[in-house]
């Protein structure tokens, strides 16, 4: 008898996503270099019909490429003096991802998964036909990174979730639940993720911090896990009313031998579904920061305002996105 599908749901959701960040400076900026990761990646249950990055004032130079992890990255250089810089990403995406059902997932124990990762690190060969690129991604995701370095306090926190012989998917679900219960919401004002020992000591953090902590716990036990950046669409009623939402959300994905990467959001304590739009993934937040850059001038006291809207994609949005270009 075949195993039932481990991923339930799966109704395709079509969304139009607009992310607008506006930077204001007290004095003119004479030059601005920026790198943006604001355009969704294709695959992993989602189709990108259209994606555009607009910068105002218009850049003198602009380009885009795929990084080492396959994420879409945009570069721009603005030379026109300005006191306001606006970066706006607009995308039309269809998501058919189904939420993982732990009861139907492959019952690979966490010890077996760790042994599989260890074998890849030693031989460069996967047990389930993984190609060189997949092996590299798995091995890299088991190694320390700049924001997720080995910490004894993290390993101590993780230990109680790793019972002997426990299937990895249940370890992931249990750890997600603990993080949601143990790590409350940090007070507003902090920019970027906090050091992991600080998150554990204060028992407060953002979605970035919970994602980092879950990844760190997995890596501390020899498993492969990576940090994911994206958005969560609001419920249908809220989306139809305008779709105003928060900025990018962070979650984690963990490699399950024979089952691929399983994505879990410890901030909501759930495996992701078709409400989640993936921007990119990497070793930690530094690999997938939505916007970063350098400015010349501008003075002290700059500010940034970010607005995100996720609304159902209308028929004309989809039609315009797939309509062939005419000359």
Single pTM value for the model? 0.91
pLDDT by residue (tens digit) across 88-139? Answer: 999 999 999 999 999 999 999 999 999 999 999 999 999 989 999 999 999 9
The reported pLDDT for the residue numbered 189 is: 66
> Do residues 304 and 21 make contact, with C-beta atoms less than 8 angstroms apart?
yes
Q: Which residue matches tokens 């606006």?
A: 86
Determine which of 6-10, 260-264, 306-310 has the lowest per-residue pLDDT on average. 6-10
Alpha carbon of 66 to those of 12, 90, 294: distances in Å? Answer: 26, 18, 21
> Do residues 229 and 248 make contact, with C-beta atoms less than 8 angstroms apart?
yes
pLDDT by residue (tens digit) across 8-48? Answer: 446 899 999 999 999 999 999 999 999 999 999 999 999 99
Cβ-based burial of 318 (10 A; exposed 0-12, middle 13-18, buried ≥19): middle
pLDDT by residue (tens digit) across 204-257? Answer: 999 999 999 999 999 999 999 999 999 999 876 455 545 556 678 999 999 999
Alpha carbon of 247 to those of 89, 172, 251: distances in Å? Answer: 12, 25, 13
Q: Domains in the chain, please, with CATH?
A: 9-96+289-322 (2.60.40.2250), 99-287 (3.10.620.30)
Q: Say whether 235 sits in a helix, a strand or coil.
A: coil
Q: How far apart are CA 121 and CA 116, in angstroms?
A: 9
> End-to-end distance of the chain based on CA atoms, in angstroms?
55
- Per the prediction, the chain carries an average pLDDT of 91
Pair type for strands 13-36 and 82-95: antiparallel
The reported pLDDT for the residue numbered 6 is: 57
CA angle 284, 111, 193 (to 5 degrees): 15
Q: Say whether 186 sits in a helix, a strand or coil.
A: coil
């Amino acid at each position: 008898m075949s195993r039932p599908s481990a991923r339930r749901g799966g109704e395709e959701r079509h969304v139009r996503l607009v992310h607008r960040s506006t930077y204001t400076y007290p004095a003119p900026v004479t030059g601005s270099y920026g790198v943006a990761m604001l355009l969704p990646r294709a695959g992993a249950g989602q189709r990108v019909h259209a994606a555009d990055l607009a910068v105002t004032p218009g850049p003198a130079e602009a380009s885009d490429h795929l990084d080492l992890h396959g994420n879409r990255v945009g570069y721009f250089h603005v030379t026109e003096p300005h006191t306001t810089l606006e970066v706006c990403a607009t995308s039309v995406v269809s998501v058919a991802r189904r939420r993982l059902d732990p009861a139907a997932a492959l019952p690979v124990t966490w010890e077996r998964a760790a042994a599989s990762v260890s074998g890849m690190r030693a031989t460069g060969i996967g047990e389930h036909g993984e190609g060189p690129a997949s092996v590299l991604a798995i091995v890299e995701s088991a190694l320390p990174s700049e924001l997720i370095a080995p910490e004894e306090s993290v390993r101590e926190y993780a230990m109680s979730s790793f019972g002997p012989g426990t299937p990895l998917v249940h370890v992931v679900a249990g750890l997600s639940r603990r993080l949601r219960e143990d790590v409350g919401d940090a007070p507003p004002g902090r920019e970027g993720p906090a050091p992991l020992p600080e998150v554990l000591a204060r028992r407060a953090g953002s979605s970035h911090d919970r994602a980092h902590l879950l990844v760190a716990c997995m890596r501390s036990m020899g498993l492969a896990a990576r940090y994911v950046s994206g958005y969560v669409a609001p419920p249908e009623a809220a989306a139809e009313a305008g779709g105003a939402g928060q900025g990018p959300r962070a979650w984690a994905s963990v490699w399950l031998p024979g089952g691929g990467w399983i994505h879990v959001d410890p901030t909501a304590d759930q495996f992701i579904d078709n409400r989640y739009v993936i921007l990119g993934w990497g070793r930690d937040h530094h690999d997938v920061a939505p916007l970063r850059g350098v400015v010349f001038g501008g003075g002290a006291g700059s500010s940034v305002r970010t607005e995100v809207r996720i609304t159902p994609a209308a028929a004309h949005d989809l039609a315009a996105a797939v309509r062939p270009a005419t000359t």
